[in-house]
Amino acid sequence: MATISSRWSDSSAAHIRPFDPRRDLLAVADLIETCFAETLSMDGRRYIERMRRAARAGVAQRWQAFSSGYPLGGLVWVQHGRVVGNLSLIPFWHRGRMLYLIANVAVHPDFRRRGIARALTQAGLDRARRRLAREVWLHVRDDNPAAYALYHSLGFVPQTRRTYWVLPHLQAVAGDPLPGVRVVTPRAAAWRQQAAWLDANYPPAIRWNFPLRMGALRPDWWGMLYRFFMEFPVRQWGVMQNGRLAGVLSWQPSSAYADRLWLAAPPQSEALTLRAVLPVLREQGDLYRPLGLDYPAGRAAETLRSLGFEPEHTLIWMKRRF
C-alpha cells in the first residue's frame, strides 16, 4: 500500500477491499448518486438505475451484462460496516497493451477531507501496476479543481480537454440550408481525407474510450462489408463547397440517451459542415432521438450553441504512466 494521509496510514488495509457486486452494488449506486447528484447526466442516472435493478433482482454477480460490456471492478472503502468510498477500475485493451480507466471515485460527504480519495486512487494505481498495465487514465470535470489537484499530485498528467454536447431535439435546429453548398453522400475517394480529419478530432491515443469504429465509416466496399457483418448501421453526409470536400458528419445509433455524431472536419470548416448538414437532417425528419457530439473543448462552441446543442460537461483527460 502506497503512502496516504497519516490519519489512515496505519489502518487503510482494514478499510480498503475489492468491490464485490454481490454485496456492494446497491451501496455503490447510492454513493455515486449522493456524491454526484448535481452533475449526473441522463446516461449517469440510467447507469445507476441499472445497477439498482440488478442488485434488487438478485443478479448482482452478473452485473457485467448490464454494464455495456465493461467489467465493473475496483475498490471500496468500508467504515463501520458501511461503504463510504468507491473507485471503479475498468480494463481496456489498446494497441496490444492493457490499460485501465479509473472512474466513479466517490467519497460520502460525511467522510471527505480524510485522505480516502487519495488512498483509493493510490490503491487503484498499485492494483493496475500489479496487473502489468503500462498506463492508467481518468477523466475529471474542468469545474472540479480539487479533484484535478489530487490526481496531478499522484502523477497524472493532463492530455486533452473535451466537451460533450447534446442536441435534445433535432427539429429545434435553427437555420436553413446554406446556398452554394451541397450536402452529398461521401465518396470512397474522399475516405483518406475523412479518416485524417477523424484522427485529428478523435485521436487514436484516446479512441479506446469511444464507440467509434473507423471501419464502419468507410464509404467503400470494405465499409459496406463491415457494416453488414458487424450489424453496425451508420449514416453520413458530406459537405461540398467550391468543388471540394469541406467535412463529413456521421450518425451512429446508440443505446445511450443520445445517438452519436462524429464530425470529420478541420477547424476552418467545422462550422460550415454543422450548419450545412443539420438543417438537412431536420428537413428529412427521420431522426427522432437526441444527438450527442464529443468534441475538442473550445472548438465550434458558438456554432453548436446557435444550433441548439447544450454542453453537458467538459472533461480533462489525464494519464499516469508506469
Instruction: For residue 310, give Cα distances in angstroms to 165, 285, 296.
Output: 5, 21, 15
Closest CA to 121 of 132, 106, 131: 106
What pLDDT was estimated at residue 167? 97
Higher-confidence residue: 58 or 322?
322
Q: pLDDT tens-digit profile of 240-292?
A: 999 999 999 999 999 999 999 999 999 999 999 999 999 999 988 889 999 99
The count of other CB atoms within 10 Å of the CB of residue 35 is 19
What pLDDT was estimated at residue 62? 55
For 290, list phi and psi in degrees, rounded to 5.
Answer: -60, 155
pLDDT > 70 in the chain, percent: 92
Asked if residue 247 lies in contact with residue 264, where contact means CB atoms within 8 angstroms, the answer is yes
pLDDT > 90 in the chain, percent: 81
* Confidence band of 205 (pLDDT split at 50, 70, 90): very high
What pLDDT was estimated at residue 11? 67
What is the pTM for the complete model shown?
A: 0.91
Higher-confidence residue: 285 or 222?
222
What pLDDT was estimated at residue 2? 42
Q: Is 250 helix (H, G, I), strand (E, B) or coil?
A: strand
C-alpha cell at 229: 457483418
pLDDT higher than threshold 50 for residue 235: yes
Q: pLDDT tens-digit profile of 55-99?
A: 888 765 555 545 544 456 899 999 999 999 999 999 999 988 999
Asked if residue 133 lies in contact with residue 99, where contact means CB atoms within 8 angstroms, the answer is yes
What pLDDT was estimated at residue 56? 83
* Confidence band of 114 (pLDDT split at 50, 70, 90): very high
Q: Compute the mean pLDDT over every residue in the chain, rounded to the nearest whole number.
A: 91
pLDDT higher than threshold 60 for residue 3: no
Dist CA 305 CA 269 (whole Å): 16
What pLDDT was estimated at residue 54? 84
Asked if residue 279 lies in contact with residue 177, where contact means CB atoms within 8 angstroms, the answer is yes
Of the ranges 85-89, 129-133, 171-175, which one carries the lowest mean pLDDT score? 171-175
Name, in order, each residue with C-beta under 8 angstroms of 105's C-beta and a sequence gap of 6 or more.
Answer: 86, 87, 88, 117, 120, 121, 138, 147
Q: Say if strands 244-252 and 259-264 run parallel, antiparallel, or are unpaired.
A: antiparallel
Average pLDDT over residues 289-316: 97
* Confidence band of 9 (pLDDT split at 50, 70, 90): low
What pLDDT was estimated at residue 129? 96
pLDDT higher than threshold 90 for residue 17: yes
What pLDDT was estimated at residue 177? 76
What is the set of domains in the chain, with CATH numbers? 12-133 (3.40.630.30), 164-314 (3.40.630.30)
The count of other CB atoms within 10 Å of the CB of residue 191 is 19
